[in-house]
Structure formats: C-alpha cells, structure tokens
Amino acid sequence: MIPFVIPAQAGIHFHKIRTMRVSEIFYSLQGEGFLAGVPSIFIRLAGCPLRCRWCNTKYAQDATAGEEYGIAEIVDKVTHWRFKHVVITGGEPMIQKDLPQLARKLKAAGKHITVETAGIAYIPDMPCDLMSISPKLSNSTPADAKLAAMHEDSRLDIAVLAELIDNYDYQLKFVVDSVNDLPEIQETLERIEDVDPEKVMLMPQAATKDELLTKSPMVAKMCKMVGFAFSQRLQILLWDNEKGR
C-alpha cells in the first residue's frame, strides 16, 4: 500500500494542541490571603521543583501527576461554574511554559485570576489580577539530605521576588512555624526592598485543624507585634485539608 502524504504546497498546516498536566480542578472557597472566603474555582497544575517538608499537596509535586488537559478543555471545564474567581495553583504554576496562554484564555472568559506561587520564577506581561506569593523560609526545608539540597537550591530567589512585586498586584504570605521565623521574614523583606507592608501576611504552618487552632494564637500575636495581616487557612479550618476542598 502506498502511504498517503500531504504535500507541503497543499497549504495544510497542523497545529500542536497545547496541553498541561492538571492534578485537579474543583470549586471551593479561597482559603488563604486577602480573598479568603471568596467562592473560587481552583486549577491545580502538576509539578514543583521544591520539596517543602510541610507541603499539604505532595500529590501534585510530580510533573507526571494528574491528567493531560488541553488549554481549551481547562477553560471549558472552569466556565461550567458561573463564578468569577479562578485560582491557578500547584505544584508550582509559574514553571509551566503554557501558563500565559491559559491565563489569557481565562481572562478572555471574564475571570479574575489569582496565581499561587512560591516566587521562584518570573513570567512577564501575563494576565493576573493577584500574584499570591509565598516565599519559602528555612522552616520549609525537608530533613532528607538529598531533598534538602535540591530544595535549598531553589526555594528563595530575591531577584525573582522583586520582579514579581514590581510588575504585579501581589500579596506576600509567609508560613510561620514558630516565633523564631520572624527575624528571617524581616530579613527577607529587607532584601526584596520596596515591599508594601500592608500586603504582607503571616499564616500558621498547619496540616490539620488541631494544629491550626494551636498555632493561630501565636501567629496572631506576631501579627499584632509587627503590623502584618493574619492569613486564615479555611481549607484546614473547615475541611481539615481534605483533598479537593
């Protein structure tokens, strides 16, 4: 049998369908930051170079986790819900090369876009209404030596953080494990420079509701002492960090 080949001069072009690895898409309330409590659709992309010891979504760390979705398919799924706010999270969404295209499609659909990031990568000129940045402190470093070395190599990039806050509307959320974290937080802010203190939040490190309730008073006292806002973690308070909530 002679194979059928379309000649180049026929003017027919094939376009690669762009896909992204998605861990989950779900509807819930924004749990953290200044928009806590706002009904939102979450797009959790797979893949993250960090290995935070207290990560609550380790199932999304692997770049092969979840399923492949076309960008149009993601947008179609999101627009099934009539609500405006969309949160793109991970994993680490800012390492995804097709994130700008997804953001443009969502913005064209009239969505408010929050990107949740550790602040380790910068993408210019991307539609984003709120860059929600959670710089990773040394309290995030895992005990395993190999993972710790990989994590420490990537967890904090001051130049990238400065670019993000200079070019996007932002909030900075620091995960607090103990009062000993405060000097490191203040040093990090000084190194970034030009940070609006009214956009800085402290939130308790917690994996369970009991842990959240135990640490919240400590973090609240720290917020009162330094004048930063307290960030709730509703996904833990209400649903004990149940997946997809």
CATH at 93: 3.20.20.70
Structural domain includes residue 204: yes
Structural domain includes residue 197: yes
Structural domain includes residue 1: no
| Cα end-to-end span (Å), the chain | 55
Structural domain includes residue 194: yes
Residues written for the chain: 245
**C-alpha triplet 196, 84, 205: angle, nearest 5°:** 50
Strands 229-230 and 200-204: parallel
Find the domain containing 28 and state its range.
18-239
CA distances, 128 to each of 104, 116, 124, 183 (Å): 9, 10, 10, 30
Total number of domains constituting the chain: 1
Answer yes or no: are the C-beta atoms of 181 and 228 closer than 8 Å.
Answer: no
Question: What is the model's pLDDT at position 3?
Answer: 40
Question: What is the model's pLDDT at position 18?
Answer: 76
Structural domain includes residue 159: yes
Structural domain includes residue 145: yes
Question: What is the model's pLDDT at position 4?
Answer: 38
φ and ψ of 153, to 5 deg:
-70, -20
**Separation CA 134–CA 141 (nearest Å):** 14
Residue closest to 117 by CA, chosen among 79, 91, 154: 91
Residue 84 three-state SS: coil
49: amino acid identity, one letter: P
Question: What is the model's pLDDT at position 245?
Answer: 83
**Separation CA 147–CA 113 (nearest Å):** 32
Question: What is the model's pLDDT at position 5?
Answer: 42
Strands 19-29 and 67-70: antiparallel
Question: What is the model's pLDDT at position 13?
Answer: 44
DSSP class of residue 136 equals: -
Structural domain includes residue 4: no
Q: Please tell me whether the peptide bond between 91 and the residue prior to it is cis, using omega within 30 degrees of 0.
A: yes
Q: Where are the beta strands (DSSP E) in the chain?
A: 19-29, 39-45, 67-70, 85-89, 112-117, 130-133, 170-176, 200-204, 229-230
Give Cα 159 to chain centroid, integer Å: 18
Question: What is the model's pLDDT at position 17?
Answer: 59
Instruction: Give percent helix, percent strand, percent coil of the chain, each to the nearest 5.
Output: 35, 20, 40
pLDDT, averaged per 10 consecutive residues of the chain (245 residues), comes to: 42 59 97 98 97 94 94 96 96 97 98 98 97 97 93 96 98 98 98 97 97 97 98 96 86
Residue closest to 213 by CA, chosen among 221, 204, 223, 222: 204
Structural domain includes residue 203: yes
Beta bridge partners of 86: 41, 113
